[in-house]
Amino acid sequence: MVKEEQEESSNRPDNTAFTQQRLPAWQPILSASIVIPMFLLIGAAFIGVGVALFITSRDIQLQELDYTGDDSEHPCFKCRTNTEKCTCSMTFSIPTLFKGPVFFYYGLTNYFQNQRKYGASKDDNQLYGDLDYFTNPSTDCDPYTRDSKNMPIVPCGALANSMFNDSFSLSHTVNGVQKIVPLDGKGIAWWTDYNIKYRNPTLNSVFFSGTKKPTNWPKPIYELDTTDVYNNGFINQDFLVWMRRAALPDFRKLYRRITHDDYADGLPAGNYTLTIAYNYPVHSFNGKKKVVLSNVSWMGGKNDFLGIAYIVVGSMCVVMSVVMLIVYARFKFAEDV
Amino acid sequence: MSPKRLSLRVQLHLKLSLSCESPAAVPSTEANQGFDPPHQSDTRTVYVANRFPEHGHYIPQRFADNRIISSKYTIWNFVPKNLFEQFRRIANFYFLIIFLVQLMIDTPTSPVTSGLPLLFVITVTAIKQGYEDWLRHKADNEVNGAPVFVVRSGSLVQTRSKNIRVGDIVRVAKDETFPADLVLLSSDRADGTCHITTASLDGETNLKTHFSVPETSVCQSVSQLEALQAVVECQQPEADLYRFVGRVTVTQHGEEIVRPLGPENLLLRGARLKNTKEIFGVAVYTGMESKMALNYKCKSQKRSAVEKSMNTFLIIYLVILLSEAVLSTILKYAWQSEEEWNEPFYNQKTEQERNSSPILQFISDFLAFLVLYNFIIPISLYVTVEMQKFLGSFFIGWDLDLYHEESNQKAQVNTSDLNEELGQVEYLFTDKTGTLTENEMQFRECSINGIKYREMNGKLVPEGMTGDSPGGSSPQLMSEELLFLKAVSLCHTVQISYNQSESWLGGDPFSHTNSFSFSHMEYYAASPDEKALVEATRRIGVAFTGCSGDTMEINTFGKTEKYKLLHVLEFDPNRRRMSVILETPSGGKMLFTKGAESAVLPFTTTGEIEKTRLHVDEFALKGLRTLVVACRHFSPKEYIDVDKRLMSARTALQRREEKLQQAFAHIENNLHLLGATGVEDKLQDKVPETIEVLRRAGIKIWVLTGDKHETAVSVSLSCGHFHRTMNILELLQQRSDNECAEQLRRLARRIKEDHVIQHGLVVDGASLSLALREHEKLFMEVCKNCSAVLCCRMAPLQKAKVVRLLKTSPEKPITLAVGDGANDVSMIQEAHVGIGIMGKEGRQAVRNSDYAIARFKFLAKLLLVHGHFYYIRIATLVQYFFYKNVCFITPQFLYQFFCLFSQQTLYDSVYLTLYNICFTSLPILVYSLFEQLVHPDILQAKPSLYRDISKNSLLSFRTFLYWTVLGFTHAFVFFFGSYLLMGEDTSLMSNGQMFGNWTFGTLVFTVMVITVTLKLALETQFWTWMNHFVTWGSIAFYFIFSLFYGGIIWPFLHTQDMYFVFVQLLSCGSAWFAIVIIVITCLFPEVMKKVLYRHLCPTSTQKSQSLSAPQAQALSCVESLCCYQHGQSGCSRLARLLEQMTGQCKASVNNCHTSSRSNRSWSDTENFYSNDRTILTLSPIEASRC
């Protein structure tokens, strides 16, 4: 009997806040009285931030030099179609002190590093120094896996094969004398790429025996920088920079930093000469090559977008809150009636 | 009805049916044919107790065992069968194809990206279905493992139900259900009869008498059964509950006696033994072959409007997907036609690629784009919708407001597929008896010989007298009165169940004032009216005390009278009356007739016909159900004629029905009118209020009833379905097509002429079928302009027909049918949503319904609150899913324009995979389970809010377009915002280093995850702790996961593209600023839009939100502490704890408590009508106090 009673009462649903859908809840309502002050506040803050960002961006100096040589007047015109080694130089002047540290970029346009097959054409295991993959690279690298004699290529793949190989030197004309500006090749690649993601086997050509250099390269990977063991092989920073492929077809890559000697505080005003070892062909795809000198702030290079965006959105917030205030004032009373 | 007569009938019937069957019916010939597979023969031969003949060749037939299997899977076939079932779903199949494409050709993403979500979806669905199947297994095991008693090897053995074999003799005790279809062998009664109810099969609650053949009925003990040599031959199993043809051959003393078997001899599985101590029966159909199992029907799959629009949207998205893929492929080739882009020096093709055929290339490129964009079809949409429905439907069962205390029944959800349809109802079709009313008949008034009486304290009091006439210990009843009472107590098919038969057998002298002796007697009747009438006469003093064999016994004021039952002229719906012919104790032959007034009055010749007719109309106006009683005396000569006619009609081989009708018509004539009865069917609690509320919610209510039109109209009026102010149009008793059309036209004109007044329409079944046959359009025209429609005299199928008519009308309104009886099943199944009322008429309606509730009044909360919630939830869920996937995939599409259409993905594979599964899945699920746009009390108090969501408005094409466009806009903002940030690819880091493509993609992805989550947060109106948890948790999880994912070189991953990308992104200030500005830019117009809409053209939902805000807070504040019940003021433990702690909470809690309760449910009618006002006045003060 008792059991039956229990069974009978067991049908009764539990009376808890959860089962009765009466959980305590915050029920915000976006009404004008909350939103108008909120918008005003946000708008003001954004305009402030925007102005600050804009000013920061304004202060950044930028010097851009196109050295493609499409124009027949251009000093590099001769190198444009030349397949042999070719050097050309350009002069430019800096009117005021170019505050340091100055960053030296090269830029390419119309160059699609973001193509899928191109980007996938590498073997991360090889680059991690795994010797198994030296002799047997991933087929992702096709058609840059093996050379015509069926020898494995290290580093394999289109990405490595097409590494940018122009080199630059910069000299400062002081009293008619060319003074070389020292360029620092350290710290241009991501710290993690340099220290963890890319590893050399012990840097010795023995490990590379039985492998071939990429077809477009003049020298094998272990001779990229013979002067510095820590900048050679897979951890060569130019190589690392190239291997981090760009998101968009017009891109810049960091080439060097100017941090040494007299130029640690920046490039003084004056005339400079840029000498280019012109190797990399861009003519076939109407690309442009350029060199960019820039200094950076805490927010990076020259970028007006953020500042403008903040100012625009901020002022829109303010405008809209005023509009809403008018609407609110006109219709609020109607609603109450 | 004597068994003899019955067996005669069956015999005749059997002769016909068996004789035309093939010779295989005889076991010996079957043995000769031998090779026939057992089931192909037309009959099955069952040897009772499986005693096979010792001689002769006998090949035993194989029968199914007695296991009931309602489960779909076994452990072994679960995986393959479930997978098959799941991949029959178009969406799953689509993703399987995508997955296979990824496996086969070189595609931008690894097969894992679509394989893993697919696996997830499949697994979740499989777990859900597995769980449901496990429940079914459990139920099956319970049924199959139930203990039963079987006669085996000379003794009674207890075994499990599943072990019963065909041929086993089964013993069933009182109030047990039959474990298989049994042929009754014997009962504890000498005549071998037993009573059963088949409520669980067909919903009929009356007692039915079943018989055994005389040769077996003597075997009342196990030992006697042991000696029984019998063979049952019967047809193979079929689903018809009321058809059974067979014969039993009993061998006694070497002599074979053949007896026919009919449905009267068969005890169906699922029926319950009543009123009989025990029976023995031989199992003939077992397990899945029993008639009950054969009647298991796969419920028709109803699809909700939301699901339909969801599928439409999916198709639109499929088109978007295909066109994006085609566009991309074409653009790719347009681009590649220029040599320099086809194969730049730095990215040359392999030999294989150069040599492959361009067509194959093209196709493979197209497929690759398809794979790249395939996420625009939200893979987890189905699984989320399914989980939402499954989990969400629990709230209905949990709702205390839908719990009926008296009957201890809570609401029941039979299908969770239609939850949101509850919020879309436009037409409500309701049964009357048992749905609007209690189906608890109470005798109220009667008219005898032209004088009206009413029942008062167990006495009949003529109109105008007071009930308590002093003293009168023995009432002076006139002979007419007495005859009337006797007629009522004799003319019926009521059965009696004795709870303690001994006590009344004691035979102490009855006294009419003392009904104590009858208290153990319970009447069972097919019609509640009959039961009410017999009970009423018992109270008054003429008690029907039993029916043994051919004699009916009544007790008239202590005097027992025995009547011999000669004939029963059964009730049928065409005649609408029934009669009995009796031999009175004095030896006279007499006919009593009882029936609808239109079916009896025309045949009466004497008695107070006109007065009675007036009284009947009066009763009907009061909403009473009326029956007219008449009698006829037969002279001995007349009776012989009657008897002959009946016998010849009953035994006629051809056109028996017709002949019977003729005989009945001849007999039920020349009647003497005795009087009329008025039985009241009480309205259920709060029916008028509920109807009013539903009507204010914009739901049109149609009452469909089998009752006569006057009764129906008066009930309609009393339950508020019809108003006094309504202009009531009638379409009644139309006999011809033209007449009907003419009347319809007239009605249409009238509606046009005075359109100010509300109209109600009354139609009867006959006119309706005329109207539907030829003039559907005209009829619909009239109906649509009527705010209330009442259809009376409806047959069950007609009810379904009306529902279908509305359902298929051009507007395609959503219909809901409510009913409680087996006659409502067709309507319940036909309507978009079928609701069963757990009433007195069995479980048939409940079992076939989509939702079942205990009372009609619960409909208000079910529709207005639950329906509203579910609809809002699922509509937003569906729209949001499409939105977030557009946001997800469009940047990827845009990126193709910047990467030579090379199918480069913007996001990493892991992000592609987890976006829908992890990063954005939970907030929407929690939203779709808990969202409440408006507080439930306000939803109930302001039914007009229901109109805000009618016509699937939240899933209209406009809103769909809004969400899709919004998705595209946001995607553009994400992508181009990030694009502009990169500018001419300036460095974003303070150390001058550069980002790569993965950082760019991750920036877009981060912005997206945040925006999409916050967009849902903007939509969320009801922030429980769970919403907070999953919303902020999802964003936090994304960051934590990304840090973790990018922080490790994953040995098993093919590439390490994402290594430290996220950290680098976060380490630069501009990225943070960019994230903030992009997210704000996306959401700022949203907020604007919301606020402006709210102030310029607020929907009534929004208005009530702002009204309700303080009150709802007050409520939620109290209710989180106090869990009260109706009429109780108890606080939960927590509240008490708090009280003890603070010592002062009590006052305020009680304060809030009372205020909230008065609003919470319209417990008082006054309160209900003024609810809108109460909310306005009450809330602020209470809120502040609380």
pLDDT in tens, B1036-1065: 999 999 999 999 888 888 788 899 999 999
Cα–Cα distances (Å) from B267 to B6, B264, B436, B883, in that order, read: 16, 8, 34, 59
Angle in degrees, 0-180, between the axes of helices A304-336 and B1069-1096, rounded to the nearest 10? 20
CA distance B417 to B590: 58
Q: What pLDDT, on a 0 to 100 scale, did the predictor assign at position A133?
A: 87
Neighbouring residues of B953: CB distance < 8 A, sequence distance ≥ 6: B959
Q: What pLDDT, on a 0 to 100 scale, did the predictor assign at position B219?
A: 85
Spatial contact of B996 and B1055, defined as CB atoms under 8 Å apart: no
**Which one, of B836, B834, B833, lies nearest residue B871 by Cα?**
B833
CA distance B550 to B648: 20
Per-range mean pLDDT, top range of A265-274, B499-508, B676-685, B1002-1011: B1002-1011
State how far Cα B1088 lies from the chain centre. Answer: 43
Q: What pLDDT, on a 0 to 100 scale, did the predictor assign at position B460?
A: 82
Chain segment B347-384, per-residue pLDDT in tens = 888 888 888 888 998 999 999 999 999 888 887 888 89
**Which one, of B1004, B997, B982, lies nearest residue B889 by Cα?**
B1004
For residues B760-767, average pLDDT: 87
If phi > 0 it is left, if psi is from -120 to 50 it is alpha, else beta; for residue A79 that is alpha
Chosen from B110, B1057, B1095, B1115 to mutate, greatest number of chain A CBs within 10 A: B1095
Residue B90's pLDDT band (cuts 50, 70, 90): confident
Q: Does pLDDT of B318 surpass 70?
A: yes
**Contact residues on chain B for A252, CB-CB shorter than 8 A:** 984-987, 994
Which sign does the torsion angle of CA B906, B908, B913, B916 carry?
Answer: negative
Average pLDDT over all residues of chain B: 80
**Which one, of B430, B277, B371, lies nearest residue B820 by Cα?**
B430
Neighbouring residues of B1169: CB distance < 8 A, sequence distance ≥ 6: none
Spatial contact of B220 and B151, defined as CB atoms under 8 Å apart: no
CA distance B220 to B190: 9
Beta pairing partners, B47: B231
CA distance B13 to B15: 5
Q: What pLDDT, on a 0 to 100 scale, did the predictor assign at position B516?
A: 42
State how far Cα B677 lies from the chain centre. Answer: 35
H or E segment and range at residue A174: strand A167-174
**Contact residues on chain B for A54, CB-CB shorter than 8 A:** none
Q: Does pLDDT of B279 surpass 60?
A: yes
- Say whether B432 counts as a known binding-site residue: yes
For residues B892-903, average pLDDT: 93
Residue B317's pLDDT band (cuts 50, 70, 90): very high
For residues B544-570, average pLDDT: 83
Q: What pLDDT, on a 0 to 100 scale, did the predictor assign at position B1072?
A: 94
Cα–Cα distances (Å) from B914 to A332, B128, B879, B1030, in that order, read: 46, 21, 20, 16
Q: Does pLDDT of A84 surpass 60?
A: yes
CA distance B108 to B900: 14
For residues B626-655, average pLDDT: 86
Which structure tokens are listed for B905?
């993905």
Cα–Cα distances (Å) from B57 to B26, B28, B1120, in that order, read: 13, 8, 77
Q: Do A158 and B347 touch (CB under 8 A)?
A: yes
Residue B1153's pLDDT band (cuts 50, 70, 90): very low
Strand B759-764 and strand B727-731: pairing?
parallel
User: CB A163: neighbour CB atoms within 10 A?
Assistant: 20
The helix/strand/coil state of B791 is strand
Chain segment B844-866, per-residue pLDDT in tens = 778 778 899 999 999 999 999 99
What percent of chain B shows pLDDT beyond 90? Answer: 26
pTM (two decimals): 0.80
Residue B1135's φ and ψ, nearest 5 degrees, are -65, -40
CA distance B928 to B1020: 10
Q: Does pLDDT of B973 surpass 90?
A: yes
Q: Do B403 and A252 touch (CB under 8 A)?
A: no
Pick the catalytic residue from B168, B399, B417, B431. Answer: B431
Smallest CA–CA distance, residue A122 to chain B, in Å, is 9
Which structure tokens are listed for A178?
């060319």
State how far Cα B503 lies from the chain centre. Answer: 43
Q: What pLDDT, on a 0 to 100 scale, did the predictor assign at position B203?
A: 55
Angle B951-B952-B958 from CA coordinates, rounded to 5°: 105
For residues B282-300, average pLDDT: 77
Is the model more confident about A187 or about B61? A187
Smallest CA–CA distance, residue A175 to chain B, in Å, is 31
Angle B356-B357-B358 from CA coordinates, rounded to 5°: 115
What percent of chain B shows pLDDT beyond 70? Answer: 84
Which structure tokens are listed for B1080?
């704000």
Q: What pLDDT, on a 0 to 100 scale, did the predictor assign at position A188?
A: 93
Which structure tokens are listed for B1001?
């993609």
Q: What pLDDT, on a 0 to 100 scale, did the predictor assign at position B1129?
A: 37
Residue B11's pLDDT band (cuts 50, 70, 90): very low
Which structure tokens are listed for B168?
């086993």
CA distance B166 to B65: 8
Q: Does pLDDT of A124 surpass 70?
A: yes
**Which one, of A139, A138, A211, A248, lies nearest residue B353 by Cα?**
A139
**Contact residues on chain A for B1068, CB-CB shorter than 8 A:** 299-300
Chosen from B413, B864, B1077, B1083 to mutate, greatest number of chain A CBs within 10 A: B1077
Least CB–CB distance from A162: residue in B346, B979, B1000: B346
> Which DSSP string corresponds to A308-321?
HHHHHHHHHHHHHH
Neighbouring residues of B1177: CB distance < 8 A, sequence distance ≥ 6: none
If phi > 0 it is left, if psi is from -120 to 50 it is alpha, else beta; for residue B205 that is alpha
Catalytic residue at B431? yes
Q: What is the CA radius of gyration of chain B?
A: 37
Residue B1174's pLDDT band (cuts 50, 70, 90): very low
Q: Do B997 and A246 touch (CB under 8 A)?
A: yes
The 8-class DSSP code of residue B349 comes to: P
Q: Does pLDDT of A137 surpass 50?
A: yes
Residue B32's pLDDT band (cuts 50, 70, 90): very low
**Which one, of B819, B756, B821, B765, lies nearest residue B790 by Cα?**
B765
CA distance A282 to A74: 16
Spatial contact of A89 and A274, defined as CB atoms under 8 Å apart: yes
H or E segment and range at residue B251: strand B246-252
**Residue A139 in contact with partner chain B when CB distance is under 8 A:** no
Chain segment A44-54, per-residue pLDDT in tens = 999 999 999 99
> Which DSSP string corresponds to B681-750?
EEEPTTHHHHHHHHHHTT-EEEEE-SS-HHHHHHHHHHTTSS-TTSEEEEE----SHHHHHHHHHHHHHH
For residues B51-77, average pLDDT: 79
Q: Which amino acid is at B908?
A: D
Residue A105's φ and ψ, nearest 5 degrees, are -110, 150
Beta pairing partners, B158: B149
Average pLDDT over all residues of chain A: 87
**Contact residues on chain A for B1096, CB-CB shorter than 8 A:** 327, 331
Spatial contact of B905 and B373, defined as CB atoms under 8 Å apart: no
For residues B269-297, average pLDDT: 83
Smallest CA–CA distance, residue A43 to chain B, in Å, is 11
* b/e map B1042-1058, b = 16+ CB within 10 Å: beebbeeeeeebebbbb
Q: Do A313 and B1077 touch (CB under 8 A)?
A: yes
Chain segment A301-328, per-residue pLDDT in tens = 888 999 999 999 999 999 999 988 888 8
CA distance B312 to B299: 24
Neighbouring residues of B707: CB distance < 8 A, sequence distance ≥ 6: B432, B433, B625, B715, B792, B793
Q: Does pLDDT of B25 surpass 70?
A: no
Residue B6's pLDDT band (cuts 50, 70, 90): very low
Chosen from A8, A53, A115 to mutate, greatest number of chain B CBs within 10 A: A115
